[in-house]
Structure 1
Amino acid sequence: MRETLFRDHFWIRLAKRRPKLRTGCVFSEISSLQEESSDLTSTVGYDSIIQHLNDGRKNCKEFEDFLKERAVIEEKYGKELINLSKKKPCGQTELNTLKRSLDAFKQQIDNVGQGHIQLAQTLREEAKKMEDFREKQKLHRKKIELIMEAIHKNRNLQYKKTMEAKRLYEQRCRDKDEAEQAVHRNANLVTQKQQEKLFLKLAQTKSSLEDSDRNYQQSITSLEKIREEWQKEHIKACEFFETQECERISYFRNALWLHVNQLSQSCVQNDEKYEEIRKSLEMCSIEKDIEFFVNLRKTGSSAPAPVAYENYYNAQRNATPVRSPASVPISRRGPLPTPTSGPGDPDYATIDGYSLIHH
């Protein structure tokens, strides 16, 4: 149960009440009331609540704009991922199991992009809900604010009228006091006719005082009724505004909580898509891919024979002039012997009847 309530802490700043004087004088009681009501027309408490509510509404608008901006980012990121997975080559010549893994990879990246686009739409929907909530509170508040505005205006007008009646009443009191003093002061110094004029003026000031006193008291009575009405409406307004603020804080907190959950859910869903890629990679077999490539592209299992050395002159001498319809196979020859020469021999060597001269 909350102990701190708006209705208990957002009033005008009242001056301390002076003890009422029990002299029977209306003026004394009125003075005491005026001392207490010196800030009656102040709206400092009400204005403080309204300012706080306006700040809260602004904060909701800022979060709403944040969601919209995040939605733009998510949508752009999602579209970029989809374009990347569809248009950018990524191992397009791979074969067999690795190719299937790459296909799964690109498909899941496309799915991740679609997920971000869906998240962007969800964020826009949440921003719209925040906007609707904010506008709904604004409309409900407007009704109370109009009521309080009218009451404040009526209260201030009556207060002004009462203060004018008080000023006139005090002036009539001073006029009566001066008339009484004139009568007592000039009782033995003026003629009978002048004395009658002084008494006549005194009677007129008393009559004016009674009228102004009555008018002043009526104004005070009217002001008190208006003050009680204002106090009652102020309490109702405080209760309404407090309820709205509780709803706003609750809605704002829940909206933020939901937003974070949506981001977490997006991460979980993305990880599920990435898990599909990991599962596909687990099925990728190096041995199978090598075997598949060999069977698909093999060109032969025999390596080419070495290229042998053929001596041009040996081929010329061993050639026979007899023509034969059948071709004579050329036999492969072994390595040639290393040419040698003895000490004192000329600087040459012979190989099969041919001379190699050393220069």
Structure 2
Amino acid sequence: MRELHFKDCFWNRDFTGTGGYDSIIQHLNDGKKTCKEIEDFMKARASIEEKYAKELLGLSKKVCGCNEMNTLKRSLDVFKLQTEHVSLSHLQLAQTMRDEAKKLEDFRERQKEARKKVEQQMDALHKQRATQFKKTMESKKTYEQKCRDKEEAEQNMNRNASTSNAKQQEKLFARTNQAKMNAEVADRLYMQNVTVLEKIREDWQKEHVKACEGFEKQEVERINTLRNMVWTHLNQLSQQCVTSDELYEEVRKSLEHCDIQEDIEHFVNLRRTGDKPPAPILYDNFYSSQRVPIAPSVTHMAPSITRRPLPNPTNSGGDLINSSALDPDRTYSVIQY
């Protein structure tokens, strides 16, 4: 199947028509718009990645299992560390996306500048061609009118050749010659304009072919660039998933070394408080006849009391006399007056 190209498919039957060229320009403008949309998309995605990375980084700094100990604590520390690494990888991904968007922006600007030169040249040729075509058509119209005037003058001279006098015939002859000269001048001007128009047409046609080839080349580059950039963008996202999974795998490996029994024993050895439970509290009935009196402890026995002998009375009056009772069973003193 024969390949189709711009230069073979965008001509106009109308000499001054620009529909084919305008179709190419419109398509290129649409392509430029697509480049800008993808560029904005990648910038927006980079902003999302950056925001996610910063929030994830802040999350990794928060307290998480600070009261744990031994193997589980080590696993949670690895978990926080790898979460921080994931956030940093997303931050790097955001910068990579911005770099790719900047490349696309530079590419779009380069194509814009290259197109601008070609479009300016083609617009000038279109105007020149249209102006010369109009001038040529006007000279053609004048030429045709002059030719009709000449034929009319010749016919008038021939009709009146036998009926007119010499003076009238001379006037008719002079008028016919003037009409003939005017037709010849119009003919030469018309031919000159046609020649100039043909030169302009040839120049325009060559430039049109060159413009079509250049625009087609730009379109090939644009499609290839967008295709490769989107492909690269997806590869970057896939690589980010791989990187995140590798970092998470480190956490999984750490969790595999988390020994439950070891952590239990570590806590017991570190915080143990005793290996025997307290004695049970028995019911003690206050009125029970079987209640055994509690003997005082030897170490807490009250000291023995040694009584002094009764002192002799020394006063015979109403003075206070301190004497012990005659009752041998009494263990206390009697105060007498």
Q: Classify the TM-score, shorter chain.
A: 0.7 to 0.9
Q: Which amino acid is 2:10 matched to?
A: F
- The equivalent residue for 1:49 is 24
- The equivalent residue for 2:66 is 92
| Secondary structure class of the residue paired with 1:312 | coil
What is the correspondence of 1:1-359 to structure 2 with a 5 Å cutoff? 3-12=3-12, 14=13, 39-87=14-62, 89-314=63-288, 318-319=292-293, 325=298
Structure 1 residue 2: Cα displacement:
6.7
* C-alpha distance in structure 1 between counterparts of 2:275 and 2:292, whole Å: 36
* C-alpha distance in structure 2 between counterparts of 1:324 and 1:153, whole Å: 130
* C-alpha distance in structure 2 between counterparts of 1:266 and 1:315, whole Å: 85
* C-alpha distance in structure 1 between counterparts of 2:136 and 2:92, whole Å: 65
* TM-score, length-scaled by structure 2: 0.85
Give the greater-gyration-radius structure (CA).
Answer: 2
User: What is the CA deviation profile of residues 144-203 of structure 1, one whole-angstrom value per residue up to 9, with x for unaligned ones?
Assistant: 112212211211111111011111101101211221222233333433322222221111
* TM-score, length-scaled by structure 1: 0.80
* C-alpha distance in structure 2 between counterparts of 1:68 and 1:255, whole Å: 13
* C-alpha distance in structure 2 between counterparts of 1:239 and 1:172, whole Å: 44
Q: Which amino acid is 1:79 matched to?
A: K
User: What is the CA deviation profile of residues 280-330 of structure 1, one whole-angstrom value per residue up to 9, with x for unaligned ones?
Assistant: 10000110010011011110001100001112134897448x9773579xx
Identity of aligned residues (%): 62
* C-alpha distance in structure 2 between counterparts of 1:3 and 1:166, whole Å: 41
Structure 1 residue 40: Cα displacement:
1.3
- Do the aligned partners of residues 308 and 187 (structure 1) sit closer, same or farther apart at CA in structure 2, a change above 3 Å counting? same
When the two chains are superposed, the root-mean-square deviation of aligned CA atoms in Å is: 2.0
- Do the aligned partners of residues 324 and 229 (structure 1) sit closer, same or farther apart at CA in structure 2, a change above 3 Å counting? closer
Structure 1 residue 44: Cα displacement:
1.0
Gaps of at least 5 residues in structure 2 are 302-337
| Secondary structure class of the residue paired with 2:274 | coil
| Secondary structure class of the residue paired with 2:283 | coil
- Do the aligned partners of residues 255 and 318 (structure 1) sit closer, same or farther apart at CA in structure 2, a change above 3 Å counting? closer
| Secondary structure class of the residue paired with 1:50 | helix
User: What is the CA deviation profile of residues 89-138 of structure 1, one whole-angstrom value per residue up to 9, with x for unaligned ones?
Assistant: 33321211111111111111111111111100000000000000110111
| Secondary structure class of the residue paired with 1:93 | coil
* C-alpha distance in structure 1 between counterparts of 2:283 and 2:48, whole Å: 73
* C-alpha distance in structure 2 between counterparts of 1:229 and 1:326, whole Å: 133
